[in-house]
Structure 1
Amino acid sequence: MEHKPLSGIAILVIEDDKLLSRRICAYLESRGAEVMSSISIEETRNLLDGFSFDIALSDIHLPDGNGLDLLKAGAFSGTTRVIVMTAEGGVETAVEAMRLGAADFLTKPFELEELPLVVLRSRQQQKQDRLENFRRETRSEDSGLFFGESMSTVRQALDKIIETDNRLKHSLPPVLLVGQTGTGKTTLARWLHE
């Protein structure tokens, strides 16, 4: 079975050049990504109302405005990593995109083969951010979810597992939660996945 490096990654391609959009989408799908596309800011907002994406590849110049306006308006969820694409790849544009929260910047034209590397780099940073948030929250005494020794015990166990296995340094390990009904397994599972 062929390895698909982007398997399970949900990507939104925001590009008004329909031919380029089709090429990008087809290429990403051939690498295992789940891809949707949009050609305008309005269409993007409609998609974002109904779907969540791990990565958004967004052109800057769109028929109904500037793709950076989506970043300014906070249109993307906090977990979506935005990669900006533009033919006008000036330093000022890249700096502005990054200042507004873009994870990366691609100057057109680019080789399609660059996309998996850029997407995986952004995905890795996304996982790293989630892990850091998890660690920060578990160390917070005011997490609001758990009281007493239970949160401390979970945190210590996960830290020990992560320290033991270097492969887990950049992502959370798989966790099996067992216990009687009403002990908070569902709450803890939701908290771990956030």
Structure 2
Amino acid sequence: MPHALIVEDDADAAEMMAALVANEKFTVATALSLRDARRQIAMQPPDLVLLDLQLPDGNGMDLLKENEVLAHAEIVLITGHASLESSIQALRLGAADYLVKPVNFKQLQGILSRVTKPSVLKAELDTLQKQWEKTGRFGHLYGRAAPMRRLYEQISRVAGTAVTVFITGESGSGKEVVARTVHDLSRRRKEPFLAVNCGAISPNLMESEIFGHEKGSFTGADRQHLGFFERAHGGTLFLDEITEMPLELQVKLLRVLETGTFMRVGSTHTLESDVRVIAATNRAPEEAVASGKLREDLLYRLNVFPLHLPPLRDRLDDVPLLAEHFLTAIGEQEKRMKRFAPTAVEALQHHHWPGNVRELRNAVQRAYVMAEADMVSADWLPGGAAITAPAAPAAAAQAEPLRSGAAVTIPIGTSMAEAERLLILATLRHCDHHKERTAAVLGISLKTLYNRLKDYARDQQGEGGTAESGSNESVAA
């Protein structure tokens, strides 16, 4: 049975906490001072310490600094008020969580249900480190580049604590994947992980979606609705694109973070929140504050532990690893495995990837679908266009059909419509008149390609020619 030590100078509060902790199948000891605490630790090393920072004979931090035994215990600080300072202090002291006086017993129950020895968490992180060294995978993340290694170190440090995390990074770089990795390495992993994109919710509905509403609280509210904070109880709430949240709602979010309480829309009853918040934005936070998109006080409350996710262009060495991961996942889902040709991997590493990891994943999925054989070539990937050979002399090109691998030469003065026609028909011929492949190479929809071909056929018939079926027309090449 795990052993808990409660270090609290208020005897009544210590006794009530001891009774609750005992009901959660802990053995319990109490100490009213640092001196008492030292004696209790010497008698029986605790697995859990509920530690008040303000004690008659000193500060609770002194106990942590002087006693190596507590390095193997889970520490929960007891503080007079929730603030940015107390969050940072808890992190620096290695505390897993903190309680605000007067102690809320429901919150304490939640903490007790998540008790995990630091040694267990360390063993898990060691296993994760070995997995990364072998496969390049860290939780849900993939990458070996230096910026990613630094990110993994930070995640390892913050995951086991209760502090708020603020993730910044470009759109498509994988901020939700980082948040999910933090959750899965935390003590809340058995509880829900709920991801919310603040930019995808109507401003008129956002308060109701986040905090919930009571039946009859507004027109159309025909039943009680539980908001994100209630649905994520005990777990992690990921608020993506936080700068898209209306300013008046940011005030209410700040109150939840500071007090741990909220009310549903249309209610006067205060509810307790036991949720870890992870926020993210693709904007520079300081610029968002300056432009009025983010409250400065909310930024300070969210930005307890910042994490920055690098864009894919800053870690191109990770592209093959990520691409292989996506290709394998698609193959498993489709029950048919495929592999990249060497030229495909080269093409992937030469692309700039402005859409980051999301663009890479979509490109791999498209290439998988378009590749008829089990080998995915560069033809269907950004940076690996199907038409790559040097241009032939214009005169010779006009005299013979377009050969596979030829490039389209368009004389200066050609209209945009005619240039588009030449390119579409040349690509169609190169793809052996396979219209789906042609549309994929050109980056247009199949419907658009069919419409263009119909237009060209009508034009030819009007001139007395033969409609283009993809077999006889010559173009400049």
TM-score normalised to structure 2 length: 0.26
CA distance in 1 between counterparts of 2:24 and 2:115 reads 16
Q: Does residue 107 of the first structure (1) align with residue 110 of the second (2)?
A: no
Gaps of 5+ in 2: 131-183, 186-477
Q: Does residue 81 of the first structure (1) align with residue 74 of the second (2)?
A: yes
Instruction: Check conservation: 1:48, 1:75, Cα contact below 8 A.
Output: no
Q: Give matches, 1:144-159, under 5 Å.
A: none
CA distance in 1 between counterparts of 2:65 and 2:81 reads 19
CA distance in 2 between counterparts of 1:40 and 1:50 reads 16
Computed over aligned residues only, the root mean square deviation of the Cα atoms, in angstroms, reads 2.9
Find the counterpart in structure 2 of residue 94 from structure 1. Answer: 87
How far apart are 1:113 and its partner, in Å?
Answer: 2.1
Instruction: Check conservation: 1:10, 1:34, Cα contact below 8 A.
Output: yes
Equivalent in 20, 23, 27 of residue 20 of structure 2: 27
How far apart are 1:27 and its partner, in Å?
Answer: 1.1
CA distance in 2 between counterparts of 1:53 and 1:17 reads 20
Instruction: Check conservation: 1:13, 1:38, Cα contact below 8 A.
Output: yes
CA distance in 1 between counterparts of 2:20 and 2:49 reads 15
**CA 1:32–1:63 in structure 2 vs 1: closer, same or farther (change >3 Å)?**
same
Gaps of 5+ in 1: 1-7, 138-168, 171-194
Instruction: Check conservation: 1:15, 1:62, Cα contact below 8 A.
Output: yes
Find the counterpart in structure 1 of residue 33 from structure 2. Answer: 40
**CA 1:44–1:102 in structure 2 vs 1: closer, same or farther (change >3 Å)?**
same
**CA 1:42–1:134 in structure 2 vs 1: closer, same or farther (change >3 Å)?**
farther
How far does the alpha carbon of each residue in 1:30-87 deviate from its partner, in whole angstroms, 9 at most, with x for none? 2211111101111111111221111100011111011122123245432101100111
How far apart are 1:99 and its partner, in Å?
Answer: 0.4
Find the counterpart in structure 1 of residue 9 from structure 2. Answer: 16
How far does the alpha carbon of each residue in 1:132-189 deviate from its partner, in whole angstroms, 9 at most, with x for none? 457879xxxxxxxxxxxxxxxxxxxxxxxxxxxxxxx99xxxxxxxxxxxxxxxxxxx
Higher relative contact order (CA 8 A, sep 6+): 1
Find the counterpart in structure 2 of residue 129 from structure 1. Answer: 122
CA distance in 2 between counterparts of 1:120 and 1:129 reads 19
Q: Does residue 56 of the first structure (1) align with residue 46 of the second (2)?
A: no
CA distance in 1 between counterparts of 2:33 and 2:126 reads 32
Find the counterpart in structure 1 of residue 362 from structure 2. Answer: none
SS in 2 for 1:82: strand
**CA 1:34–1:133 in structure 2 vs 1: closer, same or farther (change >3 Å)?**
farther
Instruction: Check conservation: 2:99, 2:108, Cα contact below 8 A.
Output: no
Runs of 4+ with deviation above 2 angstroms: 72-78, 119-122, 124-137
**CA 1:83–1:129 in structure 2 vs 1: closer, same or farther (change >3 Å)?**
same
CA distance in 1 between counterparts of 2:50 and 2:126 reads 24
- Which residue type is aligned with residue 61 of structure 1? Q
CA distance in 1 between counterparts of 2:109 and 2:116 reads 10
Task: State the identity as a percent.
Answer: 27
TM-score normalised to structure 1 length: 0.60
Find the counterpart in structure 2 of residue 70 from structure 1. Answer: 63
